[in-house]
A and B are shown apart, each in its own frame.
Chain A
Amino acid sequence: MSAGAQPAEPTPPVPAGAPALEVRGVTKRFGALAVLRGIDLVLRQGEVLGLVGDNGAGKSTLVKILSGFQAQDGGELLVEGESVHFPSVQAARAHGIETVYQDLALIPQLPVYQNLFLGHELTRFGPLRLLDKREMRKLAAKYLDDINVRVPSVDAEAERLSGGQRQAIAVARAVRAATKILLLDEPLAAMGARESRLIVNLVKDLAASGRVSIIVIDHNYAHLFELCDRINVMQGGRITIDQQVHETSLEELTELMVQSYRRQLEAEASAGA
């Protein structure tokens, strides 16, 4: 906790590594509605950044822009310092950005190891494309072991796993492909305490390994405090608060947000007068 933090200015981010992803002055409007009014955001290498905000704050629009579903109107995206354009989801993927929407990506009827290798199956006998099940099982088990994901068996069908296990597999698969930046959309939604622990640990381990940098989008502040190194708050299409988690508390963050809202209202009132 920073002693006597003045809420007027956001805490400058502690340089934890080179920026993996930078968002500079990104704007987006839908007709008359300005959804993003100049987003500035930095995701550092190996960092878990939480993105929080009310409905309509522009979170999901920002995520759609980052994952290539939509193009921004103005501003710039940089991946590892390089200016990039994402005309499609594939383009974002090619730059190592992957989005995991809860566990929706898994095939319920396929075993864990086949889910992990879906789209990149190992095969034998050339054109026959016989599955190399043994090798895939082995590699899947080793890989899951490496990142500390526990499932009953790599042969268990995805639908037999718990919500947390499925989420973990979805994240593991996203990271397996050459992913550098992972966007997680409410990864802890509808999960019990033990389940949450599974994902929290996985996300923290992945970030700590330096393998990926992660943005977590969530409504739930408690979840974000669990998961993240840093939290950015979105209000009215801007990032209004940028706080290191270890320097703040839920109470302080809430207080900062209330003050920020108040300033916004006052600004609007004076602009109207």
Chain B
Amino acid sequence: MTSDAQTSAAAPAAGPPGQQSEAVSIGRRVLRLFLYQRELTPTVITIGLFVYFTIRAGSEFTSSLSLSSAAGYAGPVGAIAVGEVLLLVLAEIDLSVGQVFLFSPWVMYWAHNDGVPIVLAIVLALGACCLVGAINGLITVRLNVPSFVTTLATNFILYGVVLVYSNDSEASPIPLSAGTGFASKLMGVWKWSEILWVVAITIVLGAMLNRTRFGVRIVATGGNLVGAAEAGVPIRRVKVWCFVLCSFFAGLVGIVDAVKYGSLDPGNFGVNYILYAVGACVIGGTALTGGRGTVLGALIGAILIGILEDGLTLIGVSTNDFFIYIGVVIILAMALNVQFDRLIARSRGR
């Protein structure tokens, strides 16, 4: 964080002396913490929800079964959301990545049925996901098609591919899903494995965004496209790689998810996941304006959605009401994001 010594040395006339200023400066510091650590607000709300549901539903809510069901909601949403953040920071969006999440296990399933060993089948599936991401990225940066449209189209194409090649019939059993070994457990049989994968991916992508040169390039490209290009940032390559990464991680967790449930339904439509995932990003503190976003926030947003869905079901609120709640939460979160951005802009020069 900012060193206060430096701040006050450069701006000696910042605050009037006296006791009052101390209270003000603590208040200001808390406000600044929430302004710049966007994950804090959704974290506080998530903890609040957790406490609320624990009080309302007691041990029923905190039971392993209930919590793993919350994690079951949060897993797919989180897996898609943490990758989507990269694109939102770039001021792009990927609407196809929910479908990639569903498409990936199909590729693994088809390959395995054709006699490809399981490890190779997984590699093939992930390769296919990367290819989809690369195509999304290249169409966006080379043909200048807005990513919203590019990925809307690939979403339909992938959906169609699955319907056509599955003959519109369910796939079951999924390889590994009946296994009891470590590999099977890791790849989805153990009920916590999916959410742990998502947590691991969050750590990797979060570190990448905040601590690597590539992360700086993402923020620079999303924050000021022309400025970044002038400074030598390869903006097109950065964008294409982010599409690839987003698809790759969604595809990876997609396989884990399929192994977990043991079957695949070709009628599953990926846009449902995407809408939750973008919602999770927004709740987590990522505005869709580019240049700013938090991977950790997206995970927390997904967990918030998971807890809300699970908790409301437990206390007897119907799933229909859940949609109303989630809609209100998304609007409030976005309004807060915008207000926070305004406050940052207003603190200029201080």
Residues of A within 8 A of B (CB): 104-110, 114, 118-121, 123, 128-131, 133, 150-157, 159-162, 165
Contacts and interface: CB of A to CB of B under 8 A. Distances in A.
If over half of B's interface residues share one DSSP class (helix, strand or loop), that class is named, otherwise mixed; here it is helix
Given A152-B6, A160-B344, 13 more contacts: A104-B226, A105-B224, A107-B228, A108-B224, A109-B219, A109-B223, A110-B216, A118-B220, A131-B212, A133-B211, A153-B7, A160-B349, A162-B349
Contacts of A157: 344
B3 A107 contact: no
A105 to B, nearest CB: 5
B48 to A, nearest CB: 29
B232 A128 contact: no
If over half of A's interface residues share one DSSP class (helix, strand or loop), that class is named, otherwise mixed; here it is loop
A110 B10 contact: no
A76 B216 CA distance: 40
A114 B347 contact: no
Contacts of A153: 2-3, 6-7, 10
Given A107-B223, A118-B233, A165 B349 contact: yes
Nearest to A117: B216
A152 B2 CA distance: 9
A118 B3 contact: no
B348 A161 contact: yes
A108 B223 contact: yes
A2 B211 CA distance: 59
Contact of A105 (B3, B10, B231, B349): B231
A3 to B, nearest CB: 45
B2 A156 contact: yes
6 contacts: A108-B291, A110-B219, A118-B231, A152-B10, A152-B350, A153-B3
Interface residues on B, range: 20 to 34
B350 A160 contact: yes
Given A109-B291, A118-B231, A153-B6, A123 B213 contact: yes
A261 B50 CA distance: 78
A109 B292 CA distance: 7
A59 B231 CA distance: 24
Contact of A121 (B10, B213, B224): B213
Q: Which A-B residue pairs are the 6 nearest by beta carbons?
A: A162-B349, A119-B232, A109-B291, A119-B231, A129-B213, A107-B223
Contacts of B230: 105
Interface in B191-247: 211-216, 219-220, 222-224, 226-228, 230-233
Contact of B11 (A108, A152, A155): A152
Contacts of A119: 231-233
Nearest to B348: A160
A109 B228 CA distance: 12
B345 interface: yes
> Residue among B7, B231, B292, B350 with the most chain A CB within 10 A?
B231
A118 B218 CA distance: 12
A104 B350 CA distance: 20
A204 to B, nearest CB: 21
Contacts of A118: 216, 220, 228, 231-233
Nearest to A150: B10
A22 B215 CA distance: 41
Contacts of B224: 104-108
A69 B298 CA distance: 42
A130 B220 contact: no
Nearest to B227: A105
A119 B232 CA distance: 5
B10 A151 contact: yes
Nearest to A105: B227
A131 B211 contact: yes
A257 to B, nearest CB: 34
Contacts of B226: 104
A117 to B, nearest CB: 8
A256 B3 CA distance: 53
A129 B216 CA distance: 11
Nearest to B291: A109
A129 B212 CA distance: 6
> Residue among B212, B216, B291 with the most chain A CB within 10 A?
B216
Interface in B15-30: none
> Residue among B215, B223, B345 with the most chain A CB within 10 A?
B223
A151 B214 CA distance: 26
A5 B274 CA distance: 75
A134 to B, nearest CB: 12
B104 to A, nearest CB: 26
Contacts of B214: 129
A110 B344 contact: no
Contacts of B212: 123, 128-131
A123 B345 CA distance: 30
Interface in B292-350: 292, 344-345, 347-350
